[in-house]
Structure 1
Amino acid sequence: MPFPACRAALLLDQYRKKSRLFRSNVLLVPLGDDFRYDKPQEWDAQFFNYQRLFDFLNSKPDLHVQAQFGTLSDYFDALYKRTGVEPGARPPGFPVLSGDFFSYADREDHYWTGYYTSRPFYKNLDRVLEAHLRGAEILYSLAVTHARRSGLASQYPLSNFALLTEARRTLGLFQHHDAITGTAKEAVVVDYGVRLLRSLVNLKQVIINAAHYLVLGDKETYRFDPEAPFLQMDDTRLNHDALPERTVIQLDSSPRYVVLFNPLEQERLSLVSLLVSSPRVRVLSEEGQPLAVQISAHWSSATDMVPDVCQVSLPVRLPALGLGVLQLQLGLDGHRTLPSSVRVYLHGRQLSVSRHEAFPLRVIDSGTSDFALSNRYMQVWFSGLTGLLKSIRRVDEEQEQRVDVEFLIYGTRTSKDKSGAYLFLPDGEAQPYVPKDPPVLRVTEGPFFSEVVAYYEHVHQMVRLYNLPGVEGLSLDVSSLVDIRDYVNKELALRIHTDIVSQGTFFTDLNGFQVQSRRYLKKLPLQANFYPMPVMAYIQDAQNRLTLHTAQALGVSSLHDGEWRTGAVGLCLGRRWQARGSQLPSPGQLEVILDRRLMQDDNRGLGQGLKDNKRTHNRFRLLLERRTLSSEVQDGRSTSYPSLLSHLTSMYLNTPALAMPVAKRQLPAAGLRSFHPLASSLPCDFHLLNLRTLQAEEDALPSAETALILHRKGFDCGLEAKNLGFNCTTSQGKVALGSLFHGLDVGFLQPTSLTLLYPLASPSNSTDVYLEPMEIATFRLRLG
């Protein structure tokens, strides 16, 4: 058989075997793999060789085959034609798949569920860059538009547009399947990290420059000086693999000013914390009115205060997408400067504790009694021995809800195949984390926030309760500072025990967009029951829902089925449930992997273990909500929805307010003005995904057009937050974009495809838009 014929016969034999997996004789065969088509010669060789084989096959009618290159559209067009249905219709006999392909195993019990957590430091840095990019895009668009409207565009650094472009490309690069997943080689990870940090620093410069212009009362005085920026950022990172260090504001006889940026499209009330050089500090509003503040110590360890640095915290109401201004003065206002009280539990450890006359401090050598912190919405109980969360009681309920936290350790199996960057192959059930020494606990209580920090050898766990009305006060701020660099083949997990009867079902989100139900399956191995958690996970029963919001993608599961068990009556531990005859509830759980350190490759292409762990700050919000009867109709469906309160809690966590101290000391108070870009907040079921200045066609400078990308959230109405200070308004999906921006007119509005490549309608003078729930829409508009 001649050469083309034998190769064509071999290829056709493989195609015929593959076709048995399809329900029609129309076959789709992707061509390519990792590291393919990276040279022009390979493109040519592949194309021309396959074309010769296709030509040979098509020239033999007795082979009954028609082969050609094609796109996905070509494949589906051929499929519809073969099955005799209209394009877009469902061919008879074809099944419909809903959901996703998680969790996935390529052989035996080798489930690819480890990469959900691998290298969590960079998963968090990715989220930080994403939030800064969105904030920088919005502020830059507003600043450029207002500068052009005032005839000052020549004074504004339009060249910052190139920094935005580079940051977009960096973020897109890190979405690669070996970057955000944590499955790249160590040298490549370093390159990713350097790029991420460089783009983050550049975005901070864009935000600083835009905020500087927008808060000036007299725009004519604006001068851009790259060598002496007007504003500083609130934190800096010394290296790509270092945690951020917060800026300390030096106080003296001259007043210091701070500009605050709210990246949310709704007005927000948040607690803003700043580091200052003295506890003798007064904070004034933009109008010069003194504000009540909470003063607390700044700690470098469990027992050591940082000398000459303290933290000032105050509630601030910031306009939607806007900027606020504060003034700090050296001085003491006894009526409004409120100190925090601190107590430290040493549990028998011989340690000295720093003291400061400004902060009442009590040292407790030993004590195991549980204690509680409270705000206007809830009372939260902690273990006096471990410092970890135990239960929550809402003010409108008599019974407390069990929310019991513990740390666990997973090992890896001793056989040939072990856990690696991709695979999670545990050696059995997780074992309790047992530190060498008992934890040191530090409890801080004050008028605006109270917190408990438990210092363990490998993790510092902080739970903070805000005493504020609205979103901030309705959830718990939880963070874990993890350092497992001395571990060998171990993984650290956080498990939350509840008395929620979840019946083996839990929920995780897909890309922060949809929420999907997951089922704990006993027939599958432990590692098969883990799923990715990009933004949130929750468990629920008919009465309650507990949601864990996250600021970094991690692996999550619920390894207890949460069903009713037969057992002795009366062992309810004082919880809310009532015994059903001899039935006792098996508590529902949520479990999240915090970090993993693995010494070997798992033979999936990386060629090395995970040994480059960093000190990693994992941030969460824990939200307990009450469900009503109207929400029960959704039980049993494959999809679910967060509440509006849950949506906003996630936004508060992932898009924090940014504080920027003014670098120059001598500035009259009248020189700065708060900036209100929107005439009113967007409805709270709308999210402004971006307000992005588009590039001019001729060069790399910004054009006069802007892309506005809106998302209307789908939400569950059956979770009530009434009488809890959570006020939220919706508009049934309608937004009047023409009157949205304060001081700016919408010149024209054109709906486009999500990527802006294709117009969906002609430009219109009508600026009223409507979105269905879960829809995302992109508009090209001109502001002036």
Structure 2
Amino acid sequence: QSCPATKAGKLNVHLVPHTHDDVGWLKTVDQYFYGSRNEIQHAGVQYILDSVVSQLQSDPTKRFIYVEIAFFYRWWRMQTDQIKQTVKQLVNEAPFKGRLEFINGGWCMNDEASTHYNSIIDQMTLGFQFLQYNFGDCGRPRVAWHIDPFGHSREHASLFAQMGFDGFFFGRLDYQDKRAREMQKEMEQLWRGSVNLEPPFADLFTGVLPNGYNPPSSLCWDGSCSDPPIMDDKDLEDYNVDQIVKYFISIAHAQAGVYRTNHIIMTMGSDFQYENANLWYKNMDKLIKHVNAQQSNGSNVNVLYSTPSCYLSELNKANLTWSVKTDDFFPYADGPHQFWTGYFTSRPALKRYERMSNNFLQVCNQLEVLAGSKSREGPFGKADSFTLKEAMAVAQHHDAVSGTEKQHVADDYAKRLAAGWSRCQVLVSNALASLSGIKQNVHFCNYLNVSACRLTEAASNFTVVLYNPLPRRVTWNVRLPMNGTSYTVTDPKGKTVPNKVMQVSAFTKQVRQDKGSAVNELVFQAAAPALGFSTYSVSRLTEDSLWRRLAQRAQKTQLGDSLQLQNEYYKVTFDSDTGLVSQIENLHKGINLPITQNFYWYNASIGDAKSSQASGAYIFRPDSFNPLLISKTAKTYVVKTRIIKKKKKKKKKKKWQDNVVNISNSDRLAGTPSYLSTAPCRDRWGKEIISRFKTPLQTNATFYTDANGREILQRRRDYRATWKLEQTEPVAGNYYPVNSRIYIKDGKQQLTVLTDRSQGGSSIMDGSFELMLHRRLLYDDHRGVDEPLSEPGDYNVGLVVRGKHILFLDTVDASADLHRPQAQQEFMSPQIVLSTGQQYPYWMGLKSVKEFSALAEELPRNVHLLTLAQWDAKSVLIRLEHQFEKGESTNYSQPVTVDLMKLFSHFMVTSLVEMSLGANEKKDAMKRMAWRVTEDQEPVEPRFSSGRESISAITLKPMEIRTFLATIQYLYS
């Protein structure tokens, strides 16, 4: 209702004043907000908002959109009540209503390649919650706006549709794709975000902006621009109105020639612009005045201040038939040798830290609900979950987890996550004390990935609390750094648990440097109930020299040249000459697959005769199609234990790669290859390190990757679904984001690998696929960051990355039964909390609890508890999701019903309201624009509630997520 009037029969040009404010990139979030370090980049977000608000007050026709709530939240907290009231009027009160419009509304404009759907939803919800609380319904964004991310995910379109957006606009797409779309007038179309959800539920109208997110050439009027202003005094020698008007009308007609309606959009702004908003608005006022004046001379161009939602409304009124897109917009290239596929892997340590941080945030959120106010203020002090929520939200930015920021900014992202961990560790400690009834010294070991933990290295007796955030019981291999050789472990019922002490590898000791001193690792298998915890006790046994000799002799007998690892489900065979994996056999299915896995590295191009383009933080460009083999053979040894049936370790001759293959007795995995990787550059070559799996499978140039951890997309080498590709980079041009899994298959067998972080992956040759593990580069790729991606690590010898891949070999029709639940278990792994010293009751007379579950019964295998978090003082946020696709599994790709009122044992749900995915609108009130996709079909409006089911008995269809605000009553005080 607040949109400006347009003119029928005219070419209406919607000018959209905007600023694009990166939540960290060349400067940190703080530096961008305050405007410090301007020698790096002149930018100060607080001044932008000050200036824009002042300008909007002066003229009721002016408009402005704002996107990044991370910055707006900071600015808002600094304002007086009078300024806040003015802003509220600009958003939702006459006569100013709609002049300031929030677009997108997430905490940041997140990356779409290396982000997991759980974190995307959380960061968007955080921004929505702030806007809803402060501005009500008029603060709810109606249009998604991802003008700067480097490629676009189909899953992201699906999530946006489920959040209630009417449309989606972005700026970057492949240069060949854009050229084809302009020729076919398909710059705007309907994007079908899911093949599983009933259309048009996940359909989203999507438009490509004509100039990325910049203004038309020569029409930039910011302090950072050099274009001449509009000089409209005819007495001036430099009077230029006629020239600019003629130019503007010509570019408006040219743009209209590749779009389909008599409405076009122009973005008037760019990175960190509008610090002095008067510059922009004064010139746009003149532009509107003088261009529209030409209508009296026969011009059909009508210019107006507008917003993306107002522009979208006009497109919807046109009632045209739109084409439908079903694939995604990866990979993105802005030139023939310039594929932005390197950032799928850039900064792998930060990518892993972000993934672990989300895991811990969900643990923190859940325990805050389960323990209530006692979690936020308890025996370990005051705590909050917001610090980690905000840090995680900032980390989703398209120059954060993507790895495309300067080094000092990457350090700042990690520092913010660490601060969030600290606050949540206090909250978790308080919550576990309340739920267990025990107060004790609590310790979190943050260096377990390098076998370092001061408590376990020194203590003779301690307890291990294993908290499980999944809605199903899990069994987990606990590995703790130790200096003893013999221990007893008891479970919550006092029963002895088998354990094994294993030596810490020399390479691990080398990597951890002075962070720890453990010579061994204690390994035992622990189980934790659904949404609950179990407590295990560990005691060191008295040792004498004879026992020590016997233990050492027993350890040595485990070393040998055995060429197989085997458990109940799988047998893995290793080549006797090379020591590398040569075959995997699924014993239950009677299938086997010859396979070779090895490590290679691509030489990073520094430019050549074809192009000066070098590999960098964004761009992957190897100097050859064939990567270099790191080592042809491996030094191997085997360690047999009762917990990990056998452990095959391969140490490469070159000291910058180490690999371990584990098979647990109880896991239905073909193996878990763990790796340590660094990238030395003493030879002055940048390196891009991959792990490649080769098989004889007939794959016909086809492989499969996930989209943001959810739906699977088919990929074909050297092929794009919507245009004829001219392939110029046969390696980089075939890389895709792998957020959680990649697989290849033939008619019978499927080989799947799960990743522990986002990585780039591809199938460069039939029957094989590869994952990029690490990148260290010596040249910048000239996309703005202006420094090489060369992470020094702790000791300035090159960052060392430790990670793992999980392998599955199964029949095609049964593979999802394994990889879907296992991916969730890896993503939402148990949290280990250690304690030692004297224990005290939480309060007198309370019996201690060593095992606890907050669920009355486990959820079915195809249902995941995506969110359990405190919403406000009176309610909690609950999300349930179906984690299988249609037809993916005979057993689990079926609708399933869960009774939310009976789900929890620790509290009772007293009321439920179903909400949009972003929790900022009641689901039964959601109404989105309807679009026509075939000539003979009327536009179909998405329906969000059937009204046929009980609000407590929730039915989930494949890939469906349902969101609820619930009030609860605790059953135990």
Partner of 1:429: 625
Q: Deviations over 1:477-517 (max 9, x none)?
A: 22211111335222111110012211111111111122111
Q: Which amino acid aligns with 1:167?
A: L
The one-letter amino acid of 1:379's match is K
The structure 2 residue matched to 1:126, chosen from 345, 354, 371, is 354
Deviation string, structure 1 residues 128-171 (Cα, Å, up to 9, x no partner)? 111111111111111116x59xxxx875779422xx21211111
Change (3 A) 1:775 1:716: closer
> How far apart, CA to CA, are the structure 2 residues paired with 1:597 and 1:303?
23
Alpha-carbon distance in structure 1 between the residues aligned to 2:771 and 2:840: 48
The answer to whether the Cα contact below 8 Å between 2:886 and 2:893 also exists between their aligned partners in 1 is no
Q: Quick one: structure 1 residues 358 and 285, their matched pair in 2 at CA, closer, same or farther if it must change by over 3 Å?
A: farther
CA contact (8 A) 2:583 2:592 kept: yes
Partner of 1:110: 338
Q: Which amino acid aligns with 1:406?
A: N
Q: Tell me, yes or no, if structure 1 residue 448 matches structure 2 residue 643.
A: yes
SS at match of 2:714: strand
Q: Which residue of 2 aligns with 1:678?
A: 855
Match of 2:315 in 1: 79
Give matches, 1:278-293, under 5 Å: 278-293=484-499
3-state SS of paired residue (2:269): coil
Deviation at 1:405, TM superposition (A): 0.4
**Counterpart selection for 2:897 from 734, 746, 758:** 734
Q: CA deviation at 1:552?
A: 1.0
Deviates more, 1:117-126 or 1:52-61: 52-61
Mapping 1:35-434, distance limit 5 Å: 35-37=272-274, 39=275, 41-42=276-277, 44-61=278-295, 62-82=298-318, 85=319, 91-92=320-321, 94-144=322-372, 147=374, 155=378, 159-161=382-384, 164-216=385-437, 230-236=441-447, 245-249=452-456, 255-301=461-507, 309-331=519-541, 357=552, 359-362=554-557, 371-396=563-588, 400-413=592-605, 414-415=607-608, 416-434=612-630
Q: Is the 8 A contact 1:248 1:274 kept in 2?
A: no
Which secondary structure state, in structure 1, belongs to the residue aligned with residue 441 of structure 2? coil
How many angstroms apart in 1 are the aligned matches of 2:574 and 2:396?
Answer: 39
Q: Which amino acid aligns with 1:646?
A: H
1:526-537 superposed matches below 5 A: 526=730, 527-537=732-742
Quote the Cα distance in structure 1 between the aligned partners of 2:910 and 2:383: 24
The residue number in structure 2 matching 1:711 is: 881
Shift of 1:325: 0.9
Q: Provide the residue aligned with 1:768 in structure 2.
A: 953
- Contact 1:138/1:692 (CA < 8 Å) preserved in 2? yes
- The letter of the residue matching 1:114 is G
Structure 1 counterpart of 2:661: 463
Q: Secondary structure at the match of 2:343?
A: coil
Report matched runs for 1:366-765 at 5 Å: 371-396=563-588, 400-413=592-605, 414-415=607-608, 416-435=612-631, 439-449=634-644, 450-456=646-652, 457-468=655-666, 472-486=667-681, 488-521=685-718, 524=727, 525-526=729-730, 527-560=732-765, 562=766, 588-613=767-792, 614-628=799-813, 643-665=816-838, 671-695=848-872, 703-715=873-885, 732-761=895-924
- Structure 1 counterpart of 2:280, one-letter code: Q
Letter in 2 for 1:323: F
CA contact (8 A) 1:688 1:709 kept: yes
Deviation larger for 278-287 or 551-560? 278-287
What is aligned with 1:639?
Answer: none
Quickly say closer, same or farther: Cα 1:277–1:408, change in 2 above 3 A: closer
CA distance in 1, matches of 2:288, 2:864: 49
The corresponding residue for 1:583 is none
Report the secondary structure of 1:301's partner residue: helix
Distance across 2 between alignment mates of 1:156 and 1:248: 20
Give 1:11-30 correspondences, 5 Å limit: 11-30=248-267
SS of the residue corresponding to residue 773 of structure 1 reads: coil
Query: Distance between the aligned counterparts of 1:781 and 1:157, measured in 2?
Result: 28
Secondary structure at 1:734 match in 2: strand
Q: Deviations over 1:563-597 (max 9, x none)?
A: xxxxxxxxxxxxxxxxxxxxxxxxx1111111111
In structure 2, the residue corresponding to 1:258 is in which secondary structure? strand
Letter aligned with residue 271 of structure 1: N
Which consecutive unaligned segments of at least 5 residues does structure 1 have? 86-90, 223-228, 334-338, 341-353, 563-587, 632-641, 696-702, 721-727
Name the aligned partner's letter for residue 124 of structure 1: R
What is the CA deviation profile of residues 694-730 of structure 1, one whole-angstrom value per residue up to 9, with x for unaligned ones?
A: 24xxxxxxx131111222223365668xxxxxxx878
- TM-score normalised per structure 1: 0.79
Question: 1-side partners of 2:635 and 2:500: how far apart?
Answer: 24
C-alpha displacement of 1:251 = 7.4
Distance 1:362 1:557 in 2: 41
Answer whether contact 2:486 2:501 (CA < 8 A) is retained: no
1:187 positional shift: 1.9
Retained in 1: the 8 A contact 2:572–2:670?
Answer: no
- Tell whether the 8 Å contact from 1:208 to 1:230 is kept in structure 2 after alignment: no
What is the number of residues matched between the two proteins? 674
Q: Tell me the SS of whatever aligns to 2:366.
A: helix
Equivalent-residue separation in structure 2 for 1:202 and 1:607 (angstroms):
34
Contact 1:103 1:113 in 2 (8 A): yes
Shift of 1:752: 1.5
* Identity level (%): 23
Retained in 1: the 8 A contact 2:875–2:967? yes
After superposition, the CA RMSD in angstroms is: 3.3
Q: What one-letter code is carried by the residue in structure 1 that aligns with 2:410?
A: V
Per the alignment, do residues 592 and 381 of structure 1 end up closer, same or farther by CA in structure 2, a change over 3 Å counting?
same
Q: Distance in 2 between matches of 1:74 and 1:133?
A: 37
Report the TM-score when normalising by structure 2. 0.65
Which secondary structure does the structure 2 equivalent of 1:193 belong to? helix
* CA displacement at 1:554 relative to structure 2: 0.8
Letter in 2 for 1:687: H
CA distances 1:291-311 after superposition (whole Å, capped 9, x unpaired): 222332333438999986533
- Distance change (3 Å), C-alpha of 1:203 and 1:655: same
Give the distance between the partners of 2:674 and 2:409, measured in 1 at CA: 28
Q: Work out whether residues 443 and 451 of structure 1, in 8 Å CA contact, stay in contact via their aligned partners in 2.
A: yes
1:332–1:616 distance in 2 versus 1, CA, 3 Å:
same
Cross-structure match for 2:160:
none
Q: Determine the C-alpha separation between the residues in 2 that align with 1:478 and 1:69.
A: 57
User: What is residue 699 of structure 1 aligned with on the other side?
Assistant: none
Question: 2:554 and 2:424 mapped to 1: Cα distance?
Answer: 37
